[in-house]
């Protein structure tokens, strides 16, 4: 090729290269970058958004938690913890055990989960003290009395029989220590001092107990004492009658008590407590809770036992997985071969029947698969 033609051909090639570079720079590209080799954006079809599953919630609507998991706990509520194995059911009460009535309810709703003869009336013995506790806590809540108040024991309290703190007339008593005596020792003298302190007299306090019973819808309940002791022969001759209630009414009372005053479990769940010495009491008196299920039934943290010759009674409560049940056994008895009342066996089998009821109730609430919910005192 002649030099002149080679010069013209080279110039044409250089011109084409120069024009290509100029056009790329004008479009914002870099002739040395990989992007310069890509076609313009308008030539690339937009990528399709990833397809959502058919059951996905609409945008802005949170998905529901899986149904197999426990509901999200509210603030301050312990997270339910599953147990590796559901505990075995408790031993059944003896076939010879008979009671006046029994019931198990959901503590949150009051719904009956199990029950027999729930409206049969029977003396509740020291379970009566649950109403005494209710009115005492109500007086504390209203500011009528305070836990640190010190009051003297009356002669009436001193003269009480049955289980007691052995209070002397005029002995100084702190209100909170009297409550521990009421709930652990089941002290009848403590019940009298509390009644007199709250209402001025035992008679006025009993009237308040019956008024509260009507308010709570305890239609088959009539209180005669703040402690549950049966009337003496002389009192019966004068026309006195014992406290009377039903398993259903005791369940209602307990539901109301724990809803209004959940810190009642502070006292009911305590196994031992030192009643302090004072100017008339030279030594500490150790109180022991009569409710053995606190130590034998996982999750049990209350409430109250009772015993007279009319039968062994108990109100118990247990919580697992943030679900709570209340069980009542009223007037349970076992007789020996001679037909005589066997107090020790009656109380033991009463506890077994209560354990059965709590177990069945927690199973019905699907709560036995969770660990016991520890009681946490509310401020």
252 is catalytic: no
Give 98's strand partners.
Answer: 333
What's the token pair of residue 55? 């059951």
Residue 232 annotated in active site: no
CA distance 60 to 51: 17
User: Do residues 233 and 194 touch, judged by C-beta distance below 8 A?
Assistant: no
Catalytic residue among 33, 95, 96, 126: 126
> CB-based burial of residue 191 (10 Å sphere; 0-12 exposed, 13-18 middle, 19+ buried)?
buried
How many CB atoms lie under 10 A from the CB of residue 52?
Answer: 10
Which one of the listed residues 42, 68, 96, 129 is annotated catalytic? 129
Q: Name the nearest CA neighbour of 248 among 140, 110, 65, 52.
A: 110
Cα separation, 79 vs 64, in Å, equals: 18
Active site residue 186: yes
- Is residue 308 within 8 Å of 122, Cβ to Cβ? no
What's the full length of the chain, in residues?
379
- Closest Cα to residue 227, out of 274, 193, 269? 193
Which is the catalytic residue, given 42, 95, 186, 254? 186
Strand partners of residue 245: 122
- What sign results for the dihedral spanned by CA atoms 330, 331, 337, 342? positive
Who contacts 247 (Cβ-Cβ below 8 Å, separation ≥6)? Answer: 100, 101, 102, 103, 115, 117, 118, 119, 120, 328, 329, 330
The catalytic residues are 126, 129, 186
């Amino acid at each position: 090729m002649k030099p002149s033609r080679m010069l013209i051909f080279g110039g044409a090639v250089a011109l084409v290269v120069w024009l290509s570079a100029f056009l790329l720079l004008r479009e914002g590209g870099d002739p040395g970058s990989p992007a310069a080799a890509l076609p313009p954006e308008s030539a690339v079809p937009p990528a399709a958004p990833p397809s959502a599953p058919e059951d996905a919630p609409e945008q802005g609507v949170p998905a529901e938690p899986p149904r197999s998991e426990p509901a999200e706990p509210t603030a301050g509520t312990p997270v339910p913890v599953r147990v590796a194995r559901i505990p075995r059911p408790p031993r059944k009460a003896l076939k010879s055990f008979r009671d006046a009535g029994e019931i198990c309810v959901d503590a949150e709703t009051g719904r009956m989960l199990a029950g027999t003869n729930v409206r049969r009336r029977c003396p509740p013995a020291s379970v009566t003290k649950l109403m005494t506790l209710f009115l005492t806590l109500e007086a504390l809540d209203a500011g009528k009395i305070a836990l640190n108040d010190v009051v003297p024991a009356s002669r009436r309290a001193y003269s009480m029989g049955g289980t007691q703190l052995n209070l002397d007339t005029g002995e100084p008593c702190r209100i909170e220590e009297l409550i521990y005596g009421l709930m652990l020792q089941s002290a009848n003298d403590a019940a009298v001092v509390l009644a007199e302190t709250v209402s001025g007299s035992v008679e006025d306090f009993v009237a308040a107990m019956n008024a509260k019973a009507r308010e709570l819808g305890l239609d088959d309940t009539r209180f005669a004492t703040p402690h549950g002791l049966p009337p003496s022969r002389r009192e019966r001759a004068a026309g006195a009658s014992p406290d009377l209630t039903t398993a259903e009414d005791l369940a209602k009372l307990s539901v109301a008590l724990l809803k209004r005053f959940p810190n009642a479990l502070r006292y009911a769940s305590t196994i031992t407590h030192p009643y302090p010495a004072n100017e008339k009491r030279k030594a500490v008196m150790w109180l022991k809770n009569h409710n053995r299920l606190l130590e034998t039934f996982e999750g049990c943290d209350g409430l109250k036992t009772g015993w007279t010759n009319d039968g062994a009674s108990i109100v118990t409560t247990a919580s697992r997985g943030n679900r709570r049940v209340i069980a009542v056994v009223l007037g349970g008895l076992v007789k020996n071969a001679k037909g005589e009342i066997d107090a020790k066996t009656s109380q033991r089998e009463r506890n077994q029947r209560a354990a059965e009821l709590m177990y069945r109730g927690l199973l019905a609430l699907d709560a036995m698969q969770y660990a016991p919910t520890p009681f946490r005192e509310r401020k």
